[in-house]
């Protein structure tokens, strides 16, 4: 009787895990040659890190391109106005007694002289020599500071920011704005990742109850992320990526790296508890959980590479860079971790918390009375009323998704900077004195040819347009073949009215003005609008590509079209809910200030585009581990209800721990300075929370209960039959 019960407990699948396949061979090699494998990893990571961090490719944050108006305008400027290639800074001045007050004037002229003397700046115009740079009441002034090179490092700009900050005071407020100034003021990400790792360590310690078991996933994840990020920096020489790619890759790499090691380690511990030797337990863990890890990781990579369908250079770089990091974490999970297990062996539970006797056995080693776990009891509740549970869960997700209907996309500007920064001070002064549109002018560019070089009719038409505060005179290129002029909107960079104004100028004003058909409207403001609209138009294609490719992969793994379709629909629901919560917090301002967002703001253009493939792939991770266990139980018993209950019970602890680790790591992004990374971290944390609770704990058991045997439908294949204990003994 005792032997029969043990046999039934061990019989988790119709077939025992393969011990002669490629994964089994790899696991044995890494276990037996653990010193060689570990040494190879250490040397490899050090070498790649040295090359990657010392010879990293430069970031490419250019979101322009294609055939948009802003891209054409930028191409003309680059061709005919090479002196415009350097970035510019804006010095904003506010004097309580007016800029003509002797003390104020002395301070202002001294600052301007010091900025003009810097080796990284060009000539700085004085507001005392140009009335257009001063407000009518002469309390606020501004001037532009050209930088000599567009690649000036932020370390060289920071002294200029400090100079302005120190000079500000005694009735004169100064602020230095511009993209380079913002980056110079942005501190490093700081302790955010460290906080996430510490939280992950606590979660792992609670889950495993052992310091040794806690440390293995963290060490494996850290080595994988270090190697992956360094390799990503080298790949940037072939496929350039924007500067936020590193932060995204670290968040994703740590999350999946620790989670993948956690899944494998859990199976290893289970095998040891069932009486296997350490080597055999390692092989079983890699051929079961490791196999699922490879499928899950491949799904994440395929989903990420779906970004290439956007056809945008910047997002292609992000997709390749983040995929490289995920690939390295997958390799670490099935090679480095088995080597660590070879060193640890039975000591996996060393340095553990004292615990009560396991429920799996009594004090004398005999099996204890079967007790239903909380997960089993919860599954029973859902399965008794599956339709009610599915409707309530679906309705809740739709409510969370509803704010998506008002989502606005834009790129961040100085208005969303922390209020203590010089760049925000500059923005506020300029907005107060000249209007919010002066921070990001519209730039009109055209080839002159034989047309009126003064562009008088075009400029006059632009000036008469409602929403334009001021337009400059044209500037002719040195070769005489092109001209540019600027116009300043009355509304700010982030406002919907500015978007409407750009469309009015392009669709109505310029076409009606003589010669206006060949005038291109660009600049950072228009470029951001074009990028947002291009992203919105391409997003459905990317979503379709990601869903189709992930579906095909999941069908191969779970061998069921029904379950693959269920997973796709549920993942879309959870991502939609994450989008909705993100809009409510960031755009509507609900709890925004509490979570580190200084003001209400649109969603950063690339965040939804980046979130979808990442979350779709990560959600598939939990689907793979849960459904793999459910399928094992179904093939053993033939009972869907029992299979779902037992599958949920056996994976609840590990999926909960994995989700908690993901949430901990993603929410640490809120501690950093970058609002873009804050948004993606918040959105992903919400999606993982929704996926691990409403999706896995309610919708999955409810929908599978409703589908019954149809869960396992696959064209051309019969529904799997149960394997009895007698058949197992006979080897059937």
Which residue in 637, 647, 645, 630 sits closest to 711, CA to CA? 630
Q: Which of 413, 692, 445, 724 is nearest to 574 (CA)?
A: 692
Place of tokens 């276990």: 31
Distance from C-alpha of 16 to C-alpha of 20, rounded to nearest angstrom: 11
Helices (H), 419-523: 422-434, 456-464, 496-504, 510-512
List, in sequence order, every residue forming a beta bridge with 446; answer none if it has no partner. Answer: 483
What residues does 121 pair with on adjacent strands? 147
Question: What confidence score (pLDDT) does residue 67 get?
Answer: 76
pLDDT class for 251, splitting at 50, 70, 90?
A: confident
> Residue 364: which pLDDT band, with cuts at 50, 70 and 90?
very low
Alpha-carbon torsion 52, 56, 61, 65, what sign? negative
How far apart CA 248 and CA 216 sit, in angstroms, is 23
Q: Residue range 253-257: average pLDDT?
A: 86
pLDDT band at 19 (very low <50, low <70, confident <90, very high): low
Give the mean model confidence (pLDDT) for residues 65-94.
82
What are the residues whose beta carbons fall under 8 Å from the beta carbon of 584, sequence distance 6 or more?
403, 590
Q: Which helix (H) or strand (E) holds 603?
A: strand 603-604
Q: What is the pLDDT of residues 118-167, one digit of tens each?
A: 999 888 889 999 888 899 999 999 998 888 777 788 888 999 999 999 99
* Residue 20 in tokens: 């002669």
Burial 614-636 (b: 16+ CB within 10 A, else e): bbbbbbbbbbbbbbbbbbbbbbb
C-alpha to C-alpha distance for 526 and 503, rounded to whole angstroms: 9
Enumerate residues 6+ apart whose C-beta is below 8 A from 717: 559
Tokens matching residue 619: 């959600």
Structure tokens at 441: 């002018």
Q: Could you tell me whether strands 603-604 and 409-410 are parallel, antiparallel, or unpaired per DSSP bridges?
A: parallel
DSSP 377-412: HHHHHHHHSHHHHHHHHHHHHHHHHGGGGG--EE--
What pLDDT score does 167 carry? 93
Nearest C-alpha neighbor of 178 from the set 438, 432, 435: 438
Residue 469, phi then psi, degrees to nearest 5:
-85, -35
Distance CA 160, CA 422 (A): 11
Enter the tokens of residue 262: 């956690």
Q: How many CB atoms lie within 10 A of CB 512?
A: 11
Q: Over the stretch 539-597, which tens digit does the pLDDT of each residue have?
A: 888 888 888 888 888 888 778 899 889 988 998 899 999 999 999 999 999 988 888 88
Write out the two tokens for 607: 């965040």
For residue 636, the SS3 value is helix
Q: Measured between alpha carbons, how far is 592 from 673 in angstroms, rounded to an integer?
A: 14
User: Cβ of 500: how many Cβ atoms within 10 Å?
Assistant: 12
Averaged pLDDT score across all residues of the chain: 84
Residue pair 436/608 in contact by the 8 Å Cβ criterion: no
pLDDT at 86: 62
- The answer on pLDDT for 403 being more than 90 is yes
Nearest to 475 by CA among 446, 511, 434: 446
Lowest mean pLDDT: which of 94-98, 450-454, 654-658?
A: 450-454
Among 91-95, 349-353, 430-434, which stretch is predicted with the lowest mean pLDDT? Answer: 349-353
> What pLDDT, on a 0 to 100 scale, did the predictor assign at position 370?
55
Residue 92 has pLDDT above 90, yes or no: yes
What is the per-residue pLDDT across 263-281, written as a single tens digit (0 to 9) for each? 899 889 989 988 899 999 9
- Cα 595–chain centre separation: 17
Q: How far is CA 590 from CA 417, 580, 584, 599, in A?
A: 18, 12, 6, 10
The Cα-based distances of 601 to 422, 593, 675 in angstroms read 19, 11, 10
Task: Return the closest-CA partner of residue 344 out of 673, 674, 97, 34.
Answer: 34
Cβ-count burial of 379 within 10 angstroms (0-12 exposed, 13-18 middle, 19+ buried)? Answer: buried
Compute the distance between CA of residue 462 and CA of residue 465 in angstroms, rounded to an integer.
5
Could you tell me the pLDDT band of residue 18, with boundaries at 50, 70 and 90?
low
Q: Go through the domains of the chain in sequence order and give each one's CATH number.
A: 17-62+191-352 (1.20.1640.10), 88-177 (3.30.70.1320), 373-418+534-732 (1.20.1640.10), 441-522 (3.30.70)
* Lowest model confidence (mean pLDDT) among 17-21, 182-186, 302-306, 648-652: 17-21
Which residue is associated with the tokens 């996933």? 217
What's the rounded Cα separation, in Å, for the pair 663 and 708? 32
What percent of the chain has a predicted confidence (pLDDT) above 70? 89
Query: Tokens in use for 403?
Result: 């704010």
| Distance from the Cα of residue 195 to its chain's centroid | 18
Backbone angles phi, psi at 466, to 5 degrees: -60, 130
Q: Are 466 and 482 in contact (CB under 8 A)?
A: no
- Has residue 630 got a pLDDT over 80? yes
8-state DSSP, 478? T
Residue 311 has a pLDDT of 77
What is the C-alpha to C-alpha distance for residues 616 and 213, in angstroms, rounded to an integer?
A: 29
Reference 177, options 412, 428, 410, 411; nearest CA is: 428
pLDDT reported for residue 729: 34
- Token pair for residue 612? 């979808």
- Residue 211: partners with Cβ closer than 8 Å, 6 or more residues away: 205, 350, 351, 352
Cβ proximity of 488 and 448 under 8 Å: no
Strand order in the sheet with 140-146: 140-146, 88-95, 172-177
Whole-angstrom CA distances from 696 to 181, 500, 647, 709 are 46, 43, 11, 19
Q: Answer whether 521's CB lies under 8 Å from 442's CB.
A: yes
Q: What is the pLDDT of residue 361?
A: 45
pTM of the model: 0.81
CA proximity to 491, closest of 510, 480, 473, 504 = 504
Q: In this prediction, what percent of the chain has a pLDDT beyond 90?
A: 35
Judge contact between 374 and 653, C-beta under 8 A. no
pLDDT attached to residue 451:
57
Q: What is the mean pLDDT of residues 299-316?
A: 82
Write phi, then psi, for 479 (nearest 5 degrees): -85, 0
Instruction: Tell whether the model's pLDDT for residue 194 goes beyond 80.
Output: no
Tokens of 373: 């776990």
Pick the closest to residue 156 from 192, 128, 120, 190 (CA basis): 120
**Distance, CA of 445 to CA of 151 (rounded, Å):** 23
CA dist 274 and 268 (Å) reads 10
What residues contact 67, with CB distance under 8 A and at least 6 apart?
none
Q: What is the mean pLDDT of residues 621-644?
A: 82
What number of other Cβ atoms are within 10 A of residue 59's Cβ? 16
- Per-residue confidence at 14, pLDDT binned at 50, 70, 90? very low
Integer Cα distance of 558 and 552 in angstroms? 10
């Amino acid at each position: 009787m005792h032997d029969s019960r043990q046999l039934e407990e061990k019989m988790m699948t119709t077939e025992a895990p393969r011990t002669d396949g490629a994964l089994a061979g790899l696991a044995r090699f890494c276990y037996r040659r653990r010193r060689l494998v570990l040494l190879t990893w250490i040397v490899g990571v050090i070498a790649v890190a040295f090359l990657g961090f010392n010879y990293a490719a430069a970031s490419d944050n250019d979101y322009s391109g294609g055939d948009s108006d802003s891209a054409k305008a930028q191409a003309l400027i680059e061709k005919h106005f090479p002196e415009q290639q350097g970035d510019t800074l804006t010095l904003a001045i506010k004097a309580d007694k007016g800029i003509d007050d002797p003390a104020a004037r002395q301070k202002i002229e001294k600052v301007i002289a010091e900025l003009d003397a810097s080796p990284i700046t060009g000539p700085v115009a004085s507001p005392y020599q140009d009335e257009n740079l001063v407000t009518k009441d002469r309390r606020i002034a501004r001037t532009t500071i050209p930088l000599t090179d567009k690649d000036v490092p932020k370390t060289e700009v920071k002294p200029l920011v400090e100079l302005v900050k120190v000079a500000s005071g005694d009735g004169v407020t100064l602020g230095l704005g511009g993209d380079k100034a913002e980056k110079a003021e942005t501190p490093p990400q700081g302790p955010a990742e460290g906080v996430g790792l510490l939280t992950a360590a606590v979660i792992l310690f609670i889950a495993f109850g052992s310091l040794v078991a806690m440390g293995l996933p963290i060490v494996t994840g850290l080595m994988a992320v270090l190697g992956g990020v360094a390799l990503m920096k080298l790949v940037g020489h072939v496929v350039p990526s924007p500067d936020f790619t590193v932060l995204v890759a670290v968040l994703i790499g740590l999350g999946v790296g620790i989670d993948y090691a956690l899944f494998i380690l859990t199976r290893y511990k289970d095998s040891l508890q069932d009486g296997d030797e350490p080597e055999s337990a390692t092989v079983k863990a890699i051929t079961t959980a490791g196999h699922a890890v490879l499928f899950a990781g491949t799904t994440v990579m395929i989903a990420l590479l779906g970004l290439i369908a956007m056809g945008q250079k910047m997002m292609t770089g992000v997709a390749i860079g983040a995929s490289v990091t995920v690939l390295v974490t997958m390799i670490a999970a099935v090679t480095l971790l088995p080597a660590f297990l070879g060193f640890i062996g039975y000591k996996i539970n060393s340095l553990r918390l004292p615990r009560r006797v396991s429920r799996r056995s009594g004090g004398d080693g005999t099996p204890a009375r079967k007790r239903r776990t909380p997960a089993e009891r919860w599954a029973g509740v859902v399965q008794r009323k599956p339709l009610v549970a599915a409707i309530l869960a679906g309705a809740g997700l739709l409510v969370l998704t509803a704010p998506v209907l008002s989502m606005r996309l834009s790129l961040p500007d100085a208005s969303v900077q922390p209020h203590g920064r010089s760049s925000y001070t500059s923005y506020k002064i300029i907005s107060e004195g000249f209007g919010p549109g002066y921070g990001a002018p519209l730039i009109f560019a055209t080839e002159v040819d034989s047309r009126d070089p003064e562009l008088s009719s075009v400029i006059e038409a632009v000036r008469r347009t409602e929403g334009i505060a001021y337009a400059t005179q044209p500037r002719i290129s040195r070769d005489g073949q092109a001209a540019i002029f600027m116009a300043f909107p009355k509304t700010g960079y982030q406002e919907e009215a500015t978007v409407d104004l750009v469309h009015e100028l392009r669709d109505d004003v310029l076409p009606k003005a003589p010669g206006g058909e060949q005038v291109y409207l660009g600049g950072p403001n228009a470029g951001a609008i074009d990028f947002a609209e291009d992203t919105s138009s391409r997003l459905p294609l990317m979503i379709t590509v990601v869903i189709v490719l992930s579906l095909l992969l999941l069908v191969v793994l779970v061998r069921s079209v029904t379950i693959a379709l269920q997973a796709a629909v549920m993942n879309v629901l959870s991502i939609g809910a994450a989008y909705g919560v993100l809009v409510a917090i960031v755009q509507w301002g609900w709890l925004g200030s509490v979570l580190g967002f200084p003001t209400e703001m649109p969603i950063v253009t690339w965040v939804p585009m980046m979130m979808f493939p990442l979350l779709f792939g990560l959600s598939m991770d939990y689907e793979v581990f849960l459904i793999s266990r459910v399928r094992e139980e179904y093939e053993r018993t033939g009972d869907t209800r029992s299979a779902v209950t037992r599958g949920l019970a056996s994976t609840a602890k590990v999926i909960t721990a994995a989700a908690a680790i993901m949430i901990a790591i993603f929410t640490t992004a809120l501690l950093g300075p970058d609002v873009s990374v804050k948004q993606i971290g918040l959105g992903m944390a919400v999606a993982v929370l929704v996926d691990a609770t409403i999706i896995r704990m309610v919708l999955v058991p409810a929908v599978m209960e409703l589908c019954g045997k149809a869960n396992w439908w696959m064209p051309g294949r019969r529904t799997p039959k149960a394997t009895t204990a007698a058949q197992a003994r006979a080897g059937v």
